[in-house]
């Protein structure tokens, strides 16, 4: 498998830090293959369970003087095999990497999930990817971890290979919240239901999406509600109309109302988009990196017969969002 170079580095999001994390598309160059402690997974959302696993990874790496490394996959394997049935995304790649950096990870391997990787036998995955290309000395996985062609590799195989002296293996038990396993599936369900309080508890932070502001069709401006637009590359776990706070535009977060969805009234192309109308803010923001924090779901997305009906609905949503964000409940 080709060994590419580092293609960017990441610092913890939205604050100055001396710490940076190296990110590789695939596995590292030979000269970069320092012995590592590694964990593997999709890490969608980097929720509390993921954070505990990453904390254990970093502690073990520091104890053994290894590089704390994470391997993740892009696209999600289920998006590769069955795109129409793939789970909605909790986090985009930018937010996932920022969360890894904030946890203190040294290195991330983003493995392009291709047919070649999907067909790789479990022992070949261990030999060629983990040992040869990543130089794994210590490996941490969840108890239900599966890998290799037909998902034939499991913890038993890893245990046998570790016992043969190839590397150390540790298996992380499930993390629970109120007797329920903390998982990306649980976060997805909370977001789908509009339960932002539960999602925040599972994530250990308010749910937010980060992206660069794009030029749009300026339709919101013509309706009297100019918006900043962020591209959404995959079906999102969260959909509808929300009261939001937008960070990184001013010293304090800017309140607003946002829609995330397919815009059925004005667009039949099936393109996902996040649009936010900001209250009492009119600066030019194109190209800026912003974080949209979702505070309260107001309603589901709806298709209107006329632009006048859409404009009236946005006006009602904006009034409701402003009232909520100004209330004690939002503080």
Mean predicted lDDT score pLDDT of the chain? 87
* Mean pLDDT of the 200-206 span: 96
pLDDT, tens digit (0-9, with 9 covering 90-100), for 78-119: 777 777 888 899 999 999 999 999 999 999 999 988 888 889
* Fold assignment, 208-330: Elongation Factor Tu (Ef-tu); domain 3 (2.40.30)
Q: What is the pLDDT of residue 47?
A: 96
Instruction: Assign domain 6-180 to its CATH architecture.
Output: 3-Layer(aba) Sandwich (3.40)
List the structure tokens of 275: 């649009």
In three-state secondary structure terms, 259 is strand
Tell the burial category of 61 from Cβ atoms under 10 Å away from its Cβ (0-12, 13-18, 19+). Answer: buried
Where in the chain are the domains? Answer: 6-180, 208-330
pLDDT digits (tens, 9 = 90+) for 27-83: 766 556 789 999 999 999 999 999 999 999 999 999 999 999 999 998 877 777 777
pLDDT tens-digit series, residues 261-308: 988 777 766 789 999 999 999 888 889 999 999 999 999 999 888 888
List all residues 6 or more positions away from 258 whose beta carbon is below 8 Å from its beta carbon: 241, 242, 244, 274, 275, 276, 277, 292, 294
User: What pLDDT, on the 0 to 100 scale, is given for residue 209?
Assistant: 97
* 3-class DSSP state of 219: helix
Q: Return the higher-pLDDT residue of 329 and 196.
A: 196
Nearest to 133 by CA among 149, 145, 142, 120: 120
Residue 17 has pLDDT above 60, yes or no: no
Give the model confidence (pLDDT) of 177-200 as tens digits.
Answer: 878 889 999 999 999 999 999 999
Identify which of 97, 145, 100, 96 has the alpha carbon closest to the alpha carbon of residue 125. 145
Query: For the chain, percent helix, then strand, then coil, each to nearest 5?
Result: 35, 30, 40
pLDDT of 12 over the 50 cut: no
Cα distance between residue 48 and residue 202, in whole Å: 6
Provide the CA 171 distance to its chain's centre, in angstroms. 23
Among 209, 267, 196, 199, which residue's Cα sits nearest to residue 236?
209
One DSSP character per residue, 24-53 reads EESSPPGGG---EEEEES--TT--HHHHHH
Residue 191 has a pLDDT of 98
pLDDT recorded at residue 13: 41
Length of the chain: 331
Beta strands 176-177 and 180-181 are antiparallel
Which pLDDT value is given to residue 218? 60
pLDDT band at 18 (very low <50, low <70, confident <90, very high): very low
How far is it between the farthest Cα atoms of the chain? 70
- Residue 230, helix vs strand vs coil: strand
Which long-range CB contacts under 8 A does 16-24 form with residues at least 24 apart? 19/101, 19/104, 20/101, 21/97, 21/100, 21/101, 21/105, 21/106, 21/107, 21/108, 22/106, 22/107, 22/108, 23/97, 23/107, 23/108, 23/110, 24/107, 24/108, 24/109, 24/110
Instruction: Tell me what pLDDT residue 220 has.
Output: 58
**What would the two tokens of residue 140 be?**
């941490």
Q: What pLDDT is attached to residue 222?
A: 59
Q: 10 near 100, Cβ under 8 Å? A: yes
Contacts of 17 (CB under 8 A, 6+ apart): 11
């Amino acid at each position: 498998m080709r060994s590419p170079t580092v293609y960017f580095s990441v610092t913890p999001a939205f604050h100055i830090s001396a710490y940076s994390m190296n990110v590789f598309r695939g596995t590292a160059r030979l000269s970069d293959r320092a012995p590592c402690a590694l964990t593997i997974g999709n890490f969608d959302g980097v929720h509390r369970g993921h954070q505990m696993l990453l904390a254990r990874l970093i502690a073990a790496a520091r104890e053994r003087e290894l590089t704390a490394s994470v391997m993740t996959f892009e696209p999600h394997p289920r998006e590769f095999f069955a795109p129409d049935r793939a789970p909605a995304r909790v986090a985009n790649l930018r937010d996932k990497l920022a969360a890894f950096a904030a946890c203190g990870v040294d290195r991330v391997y983003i493995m392009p999930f291709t047919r070649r990787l999907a067909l790789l036998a479990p022992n070949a995955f261990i030999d060629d990817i983990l040992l040869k290309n990543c130089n794994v000395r210590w490996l941490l996985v969840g108890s239900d971890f599966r890998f290799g062609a037909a998902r034939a590799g499991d913890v038993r195989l890893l245990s046998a290979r570790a016992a043969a002296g190839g590397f150390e293996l540790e298996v992380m038990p499930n993390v629970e919240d109120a007797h329920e396993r903390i998982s990306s599936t649980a976060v997805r369900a909370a977001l789908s239901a509009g339960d932002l309080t539960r999602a925040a508890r599972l994530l250990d932070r308010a749910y937010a999406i980060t992206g660069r502001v794009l030029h749009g069709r300026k339709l919101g401006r013509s309706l009297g509600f100019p918006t900043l637009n962020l591209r959404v590359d995959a079906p999102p776990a969260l959909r509808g109309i929300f009261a939001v706070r937008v960070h990184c535009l001013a010293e304090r977060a800017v309140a607003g109302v946002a829609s995330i969805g397919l815009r059925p009234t004005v667009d039949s192309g099936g393109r996902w988009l996040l649009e936010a109308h900001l209250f009492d803010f009119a600066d030019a923001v194109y190209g800026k990196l912003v974080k949209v924090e979702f505070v309260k779901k107001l309603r589901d997305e709806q298709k209107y017969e006329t632009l006048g009906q859409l404009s009236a609905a946005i006006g009602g949503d904006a009034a409701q969002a402003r009232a909520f964000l100004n209330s004690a409940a939002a503080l």
